C-alpha cells in the first residue's frame, strides 16, 4: 500500500510540475556558443555554455507559452561580443513585449572595471537589480591600440608590410609609433557609432532622456546606491531576494528552468516529418583557412575551414528538401584563397534558385565579409564589425636580432627568389615588386566582387573599402549590409523568400548520421568529408600572443588584432 501511495504521489507531483507556472532562467555567466560543436573536443569544452540558437528559439516560444510567467537574466562572468549582446537583447525585448515579467540581475556590472556592454544587455529587462556590494561600470567605449615599432627596433626586428589601403591598419602596429589619421578616424567612428546605439537603447529602456544617459556615461563608474539614485538600476538586492520576488509574482508552485533546457524540451516534442521543406543553417566561425574546420587541443578559438564550409553548402544545395540557406558568419577573416572558395559555393547555391541569407555575428570582416558578399541578403547587428575590405602582407625581418644573439644564417638557393619569404633578410627591390603585385591583385578582385555582389559602382565600392572597418549600422548606410537584425530575422527572411511557413524547420548542415561520422569519407563529395577536426598545429591558448608577436596567422584577409567591444 505504501509503495502504491508513493507512486501516486510521484505521478501527481510530475503532473503538477508539467502544469505549474514556469520561470525561465537565462544564465549568461558562462558565455554563449554560436552553433553546435564541430568536434568532440568542442563539445566537451562547451558543455556548460548554451547555444545561441537554443536561447533565441526558446525565448520566442516562451513569449506565447501561457505557462511561462517570467524571465530572469543573470548577467556577468564571461564577456559577450556586442553582436551577440544585441541578438540576445532583441530576444529579451520581444519576450518583454508579451507582457511577462523580465528581471535582470548581476552581482556587479564590472568589478572595478568596464561594465557598459553587460549593463546595456541588462536594460532589455523591465527591472534591473544589482547586488548591494556591486558597482555599475558605465564608462563608455574605449578602443586601444598598441604600437610595437619602437620596442622591436631596439631588439633588431623590422617589418616589411604592404597594405591596401590606408585603413587596413594591421601593419601600423609594427610599422608606426602612433595612430595615423585614417586609423584614428576609423576607430573614432566605430566608438561613436557603438556609443550612439547603447545610449539610445538604454535611454528608451530606462525611460531617460538621451542627453541624460550620455552625461551619466561621463560621470561613471557608479557605486550601487548612486546607480539607483540616477534611475539606472531599480533596486539593490541579493540573489535570494530577487528570486523570492519573481517566484511570488509567478504564482504558487512556480519552478525554474534554464531557457536552453526549455528550448530543447520543446524541440524533442516536435516529431520530424519526412520530406518536409526546411531551411538549412550553416555556421562559419573563427579565422578562415584552407582545409577542414577545427580547433587546437588546448583551447583557443576554432577555425572556419574552407573544405568544411564548402561541403556544407554543397550538401544544402543538393538536398531537394532545402528551400533556403542561412549562412551564419562570425569571423575576422583569414586566407584569401579559402575565402574565395567559400564565396564560389555561395554563388553556386544562389544560382540554383535557393535564397542565401547571411547572418553576421560579432565580427564578419575582411575574409569574413568576402565569404558573405555574394549572398542575396546580408543581415547584421548594428554593432557587428564588418567591412575591412582590403589586404595586407609582408614579413618581419629578424636579421638584426639574430646578429645580436650571435646566430649566423646561411642559405643555399636554387632560384633567384627561393628564399624571399625568409625572415632572416629583407625583400629585394624585385621581390618587393612581386609582393605589391600580389596585394594589388587581391584587392582588385575583392573590390570587384563587392561591387558585383552588392550592386555598387566600382568607384563607390572602392570608397567603402580601403581596408576600413565599419559597424553594421554604418555598413547598412553604405550598402555593404542590407538589413539590420540577428539570426532570428535572417531565418524569418529565408522562410519568407522560400515561401515557407513561419515555423518551418531549420536544420544545421552538414547533417550527418552517426554512421557517417564514424566511417571514412568515400570522396571529397561525401558529406562526412566536412567533419571538423582537432588541429595539433594550432596555437591554442597562445593564439593572441602569437598574433601580437607577428607570428604566422591565417592569411592576408584577416582583421588585425583582437576586436572586442566591452
Q: Which residues contact 469 (CB under 8 A, 6 or more apart)?
A: 167, 186, 190, 365, 385, 386, 387, 388, 559, 563
Residue 12 grid coordinates:
501527481
- 10-139+220-266 shares its CATH topology with 276-390+466-514: yes
Tens-place pLDDT, residues 147-164: 988 888 888 898 888 889
Q: What residue segments make up the domains of the chain, in order of their start?
A: 10-139+220-266, 276-390+466-514
pTM: 0.88
Q: Measure the CA–CA gap between 218 and 514, rounded to whole angstroms.
A: 55
pLDDT tens, position by position, for the chain (566 residues)?
Answer: 566 655 555 545 555 556 789 999 999 998 898 866 555 555 545 556 789 999 999 999 999 999 999 999 999 888 899 999 999 999 999 999 999 999 999 999 988 888 999 999 999 999 999 999 999 999 999 988 899 888 888 888 988 888 898 989 888 888 898 999 999 999 999 999 999 999 999 999 999 999 999 999 999 899 999 999 999 999 999 999 999 999 999 988 899 999 999 988 765 555 557 789 999 999 999 999 998 887 655 445 678 999 999 999 999 999 999 999 999 999 999 999 999 999 999 999 999 999 999 999 999 999 999 999 999 999 999 999 999 999 988 888 998 888 888 998 888 888 888 888 898 899 999 999 999 999 999 999 999 999 999 999 999 999 999 999 999 999 999 999 999 999 999 999 999 999 999 999 999 987 665 555 556 777 777 666 666 554 444 444 445 444 444 444 455 666 555 555 54
pLDDT digits (tens, 9 = 90+) for 175-194: 898 999 999 999 999 999 99
What's the grid cell of residue 209?
532622456
d(CA 289, CA 306): 6
Q: What's the CA gap between 305 and 286, in Å, rounded?
A: 9
| Helix pair angle (336-351, 306-318), 10° resolution | 0
CATH topology of domain 276-390+466-514: 2-enoyl-CoA Hydratase; Chain A, domain 1 (3.90.226)
- Architecture of the domain spanning 10-139+220-266: Alpha-Beta Complex (3.90)
Question: Is the Cα dihedral 185, 186, 191, 195 positive or negative?
Answer: positive
CA quadruple 160, 164, 166, 168: dihedral, nearest 10: -80
| pLDDT tens, residue by residue, 438-456 | 999 999 999 999 999 999 9
| Active-site amino acid positions | 168, 366
Cα gap 458→444, rounded to integer Å: 10
Amino acid at each position: 500500500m505504501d509503495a502504491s501511495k508513493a507512486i501516486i504521489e510521484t505521478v501527481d507531483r510530475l503532473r503538477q510540475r508539467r502544469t505549474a507556472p514556469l520561470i525561465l532562467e537565462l544564465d549568461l555567466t558562462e558565455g554563449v556558443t554560436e552553433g553546435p560543436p564541430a568536434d568532440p573536443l568542442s563539445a566537451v569544452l562547451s558543455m556548460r555554455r548554451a547555444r545561441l540558437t537554443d536561447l533565441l528559439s526558446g525565448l520566442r516560444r516562451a513569449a506565447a507559452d501561457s505557462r511561462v510567467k517570467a524571465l530572469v537574466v543573470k548577467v556577468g562572468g564571461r564577456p559577450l561580443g556586442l553582436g551577440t549582446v544585441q541578438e540576445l537583447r532583441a530576444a529579451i525585448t520581444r519576450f518583454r513585449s508579451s507582457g511577462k515579467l523580465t528581471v535582470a540581475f548581476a552581482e556587479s556590472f564590472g568589478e572595478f572595471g568596464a561594465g557598459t556592454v553587460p549593463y546595456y544587455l541588462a536594460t532589455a529587462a523591465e527591472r534591473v537589480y544589482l547586488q548591494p556590494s556591486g558597482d555599475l561600470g558605465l564608462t563608455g567605449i574605449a578602443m586601444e591600440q598598441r604600437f610595437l615599432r619602437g620596442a622591436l627596433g631596439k631588439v633588431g626586428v623590422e617589418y616589411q608590410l604592404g597594405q591596401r589601403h590606408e585603413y587596413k591598419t594591421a601593419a601600423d602596429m609594427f610599422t608606426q609609433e602612433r595612430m595615423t589619421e585614417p586609423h584614428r578616424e576609423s576607430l573614432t567612428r566605430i566608438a561613436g557609432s557603438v556609443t550612439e546605439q547603447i545610449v539610445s537603447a538604454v535611454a528608451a529602456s530606462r525611460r531617460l532622456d538621451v542627453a541624460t544617459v550620455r552625461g551619466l556615461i561621463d560621470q561613471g563608474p557608479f557605486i550601487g546606491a548612486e546607480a539607483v539614485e540616477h534611475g539606472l538600476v531599480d533596486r539593490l538586492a541579493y540573489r535570494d531576494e530577487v528570486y523570492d520576488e519573481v517566484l511570488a509574482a509567478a504564482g504558487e508552485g512556480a519552478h525554474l528552468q534554464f531557457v536552453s533546457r526549455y528550448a530543447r524540451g520543446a524541440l524533442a516534442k516536435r516529431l520530424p516529418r519526412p520530406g518536409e521543406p526546411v531551411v538549412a543553417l550553416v555556421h562559419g566561425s573563427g579565422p578562415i583557412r584552407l582545409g577542414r574546420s577545427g580547433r587546437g587541443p588546448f583551447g583557443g578559438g576554432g577555425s572556419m575551414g574552407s573544405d568544411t564550409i564548402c561541403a556544407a553548402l554543397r550538401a544544402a544545395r543538393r538536398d531537394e528538401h532545402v528551400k533556403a540557406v542561412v549562412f551564419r558568419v562570425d569571423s575576422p577573416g583569414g586566407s584569401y584563397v579559402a575565402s574565395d572558395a567559400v564565396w564560389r559555393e555561395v554563388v553556386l547555391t544562389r544560382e540554383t534558385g535557393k535564397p542565401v541569407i547571411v547572418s553576421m555575428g560579432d565580427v564578419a570582416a575582411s575574409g569574413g565579409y568576402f565569404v558573405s558578399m555574394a549572398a542575396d541578403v546580408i543581415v547584421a547587428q548594428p554593432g557587428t564589425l564588418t567591412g575591412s575590405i582590403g589586404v595586407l602582407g609582408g614579413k618581419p625581418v629578424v636579421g638584426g636580432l639574430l646578429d645580436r644573439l650571435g646566430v649566423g644564417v646561411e642559405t643555399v638557393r636554387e632560384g633567384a627568389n627561393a628564399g624571399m619569404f625568409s625572415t632572416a633578410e629583407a625583400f629585394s627591390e624585385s621581390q618587393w615588386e612581386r609582393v605589391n603585385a600580389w596585394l594589388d591583385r587581391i584587392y582588385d578582385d575583392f573590390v570587384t566582387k563587392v561591387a558585383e555582389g552588392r550592386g555598387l559602382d566600382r568607384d563607390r565600392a572602392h570608397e567603402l573599402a580601403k581596408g576600413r572597418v565599419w559597424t553594421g549600422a554604418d555598413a547598412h548606410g553604405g550598402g555593404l549590409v542590407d538589413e539590420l537584425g540577428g539570426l532570428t530575422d535572417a531565418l524569418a527572411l529565408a522562410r519568407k523568400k522560400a515561401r515557407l511557413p513561419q515555423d518551418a524547420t531549420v536544420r544545421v548542415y552538414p547533417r550527418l548520421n552517426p554512421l557517417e561520422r564514424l566511417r571514412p569519407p568515400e570522396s571529397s563529395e561525401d558529406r562526412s568529408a566536412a567533419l571538423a577536426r582537432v588541429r595539433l598545429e594550432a596555437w591554442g591558448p597562445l593564439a593572441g600572443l602569437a598574433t601580437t608577436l607577428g607570428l604566422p596567422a591565417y592569411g592576408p584577409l584577416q582583421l588585425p588584432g583582437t576586436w572586442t567591444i566591452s
